[in-house]
Structure 1
Amino acid sequence: MCDHDRPKFVPQEDTSGSRRRRLWELTANCHCPIVGVCLPLALLRKLVGKVATMSVEGDDYDLHVWAVHECANRSRMAELLQRTLDERFAGVIRKFKEARDGDALMALWRKAVDSGDTAGSFWAALSHPRCDAWLTEAIVRDMHMIQHQAGASVRVDVARFTELQKQHAQLAAELEQTRDKAARAADAKAKETARLAEQNVQQRAELAQRDAAIEALKRQLEALEAALPDMRDRERLLRRMEELEGREQALNEKMAQLRQRLVRERQEAAAPSSPAVVAVPVAPPVPTAARLALVDKTVLCVGGRSSNVPNYRELLEREGARFMHHDGGLEQASELLDTSLAAADLVICQTGCISHQAYWRVKDFCKRTGKRCLFVDNPSTSSLSVCLRKAAEPVPQTVA
C-alpha cells in the first residue's frame, strides 16, 4: 500500500516499534466496535460486575456505553478488558504476528473478513504494532459495514427462523403422528408375536405328543415283531390241526365202515352154522351218573401212546367233547403246547408218556390260569375212563 493512497487528513504515526497497542491507546471510534463485537454481553456483564464500585443500572445498551466510556483511559475496567481480549484471541494474535508491515496486516484482515472470522481478527489487527491510523480507519470502516450486513442478515435469518419454526412445528406434528402409528404397529406386532409364540408352544406340545405316540407304536411294533415267531408257530399248529382233523374224519369214516363190517361179521358168526363167536373188547362206557359236563368242551390230551390216541378220541367224543392231542414233546415241539393249552377247556396229562419239560409246562400253565387238569399215570384207555369217572364224582366236604 503506497503513501499517496492514504487519506491526507489522517496524521502519520510511528509504527516502527514491536509493542502491541493497548485498548486505551486506540482511538475512540475503535472502542465501541471492539466491546460490541469481541465481547459477548454475558461475559461483559460478568467483567463489569468484577470492577464496578456501584451497580450499573439499565439495559444491555447502558452496560455497553459504560464499558466503552471506561476504555477511553487506562482504568481497572480497561485493563481487565485488555487481558480478557488477549486471552480470548491468543491464537489469532499469534497468527497476526507474522505480518511484518501494513500490507501483510491488511491482507490477513481481508482474509479473515472473507472467511467470516472477524471478532478475533478485529482485535488482533487493531492492536498490532504495524496498524497505523490509516489501517485503523480502514478496518473500523470494514467492521462498520460488516455489522450493517450482519444486521440485515439477522433480519433475514429471523424471517427464515420464523418460517423454520413453522416447518418445525409441522414436522413435529407429523413426527408425533408417525410415532403414534409406529407405536400402534409395534403393539400389534407384539400381540401377533405373542399369539404366534403361543401357537408355537401348542404345536410343540402336539408334536411332542405325536412323537410319544409314534414311540409307543414303535414299541408295540417291536413287541409284535418279537412275537411274530410264536404267531408263525401258531399258524403252523393251526394247519397241523386242520390236517389232523382231516385225518381224524377219514379215520372216523373208516372206523364206521369197520364197525358195520364187524356187525355183519358178528351177525354171520351168530348164525347156527357158525361154530364159535369172536368177542371184541370194547372200552367200558363211563356211567351216565358219573359223566363230566364235556358237551361242546375242548379237551386236550397231552402225552400217551400214539396207538391209543384213536381210543382217547372215541371215548371223549362219545361224551360230546372236541378232542385235541399233543404228544408231550416226543415229536411235536414243546413250545407249541402253550397254544393248545390256551384253547382247551380241560387238560388230561398222561404222566407216564410225556417229557419232563412238557409235564412242568402243563402243570405250571394250569396252576397259573386255574384251568382244570387230570393226571393219568397209565396211558391205557381204561385208565382214562376211570380217571374221568373219578373226576365226575362230587368232592366230599369236610365239616369243621
Structure 2
Amino acid sequence: MCELHDKKPLPDFQEASLPLPPGSRKKFCSGNGSTAEPYLAPFLPRVSETPRPTPATQRKKLWELDRYYHCSVIGTCLTLAELRQIQRRLGGVVHAQDSDYDVHRVFVSAAREATSAGRLIHKFLDRKYKPAIQQLGKARTAEEFTAYWDTALASGEVAGAYWALITQAGVPYPVLERIYGEVHMLSHLSGASIRVDLQELNRLRRRCPELEGQLIDAKTTARRRLAEQQNIIDALNQRLAQTLETERQLQAAEARLAMVEGLPLVERLTAEIEDLTARLVAERERADRAEAAAETWRQQATRTTDQNQWLAEQLAESCQERDLMEITLERVLGRSCAGDVVADATTVGADPDLVGRCVLYVGGRHGQCKHFRELVERRNGRFIHHDGGREDARAQLWDVVRQADAVLCPLDCVSHDAVHRIKRFCERHTKPLVLLPRASLAAFNRGLNAVSS
C-alpha cells in the first residue's frame, strides 16, 4: 500500500523542518544498539524495550506483523488527530510545518519495533477497538472470519474489524490477503469521490443555463397572459359602459312615459316599461358577472407575478449555493494536493475573521452542524448548537445563548416558541440575531458575513 515507507527515505527532514544545534544531530538508537531513521527522534522520543515472544494462543502484537501491514494500520485505524495525540503523550515535538504525511511515515516506522511508541500505539488500538476484538474472539474457522469481515464491510466498521483480524492468531493467510487487498482498494475511493463531486459540479453548471432559460420562458408566458387578461378587462369595461348607456336611455324613456300617463296608451307603455326594467336587471347581472370575472383575472395575474418573483429568488439562491459549492470544492482540492498548505492558508485568510467570537446556531439539521462548525472555526470563531427544544432541553437554551456573541436561526427548521424566546433574550441583552431564510450552507455563510461585518 505504501512502499515509499520502505524504499524512499526522508532526506534532510531534520535539517529542513526541525532545526537543531550541531551537537544534537545524532542517530536515533534503538535498544539493541542499532540506529533507526534520524527523523524519528524529534517526533517520538522513545525507550527501546526487548521484545518478548508472543504465545501462539495470544493475539499478535503490532511490531510482530508483516511490514506491509503497518502502513494500512496507521492510515486506516488511526486518525491524524489521534496520531498527534499519541505523539504528544510520547513527548514528541509538534511543529506546524510538519505535514500529515511526515507524521504518518514516522508512526509507520515506529510501529515496526517493540519500543514504547509501538507499545503505546498497540494499547491505544486495542482500547479503541475492544468491542470488535471481543466479537471476533468467538470465531474459529475461516468461514467465521470471512463472515465477520463481510458484516463489518457492509456496516462500514472497517477499521475495527481490520485491526482485530490481522492481530488475531489463527486467521488463515488467504483471509488476511483478501482483507488487506480490500482495505488497499478502499484507500482509492477518496479520489473517486472527488471525481464524482467534479461531475456533480459540472452538472450543476450545465443546469443553471437551463433554469435561466426556463425563467425567461416563464416571464414571457406571464407577460403574454397579462396582456390577454388586460384585453379581456378592456372588453368588459367597454361592455359595462354600454350597459350604463342603456340605463341612461331607459331613464329617458321613463321620463317620456310620465308625460303620456293619462293617454289611452298608458297600459301598453306600462307593459313596455316592465319589459325594459327586466332587461335592465339582466344587463346589471351581466355587468356584475363581468366585474367578478375581471377581479378573478386580476387575482390570477397577481399570483403569477408573485410566482415569478419567487422563481427569481430561488434561482438567485441556487446560484449562490453553486458558487459556495465551487469555493468549498476548490478548498478541498487545494488541501488534497501535496505541499499546498500555503495556498490553503491564503484561501482561508480571504474569509472575514470572527476574531474568536462564539456563534450559536439554533435549530437546523444535525447533519449540517459539522460543516457549519468547520466554517466557523476556519474563520477563527467558536461554534455551538442547540436544536431549539426537539431533543435538547428547552431550559438549556438560555445557558447557550448567554455564552454566544451572535445567534443564527433558520426560520424553516425551528419551532416558533424557540424563535420568540431567542428574540426576547437577544433584545434584552443586545446580542446580534440573524434570522436565516432556510437551513442551508449558503444562508449560513451569508449569516456569518453579516456577523463579521
| Alignment TM-score, normalising by the size of structure 2 | 0.32
Choose 1 or 2 for highest CA Rg.
1
| Alignment TM-score, normalising by the size of structure 1 | 0.36
Larger RCO, structure (CA 8 Å, separation 6 or more): 1
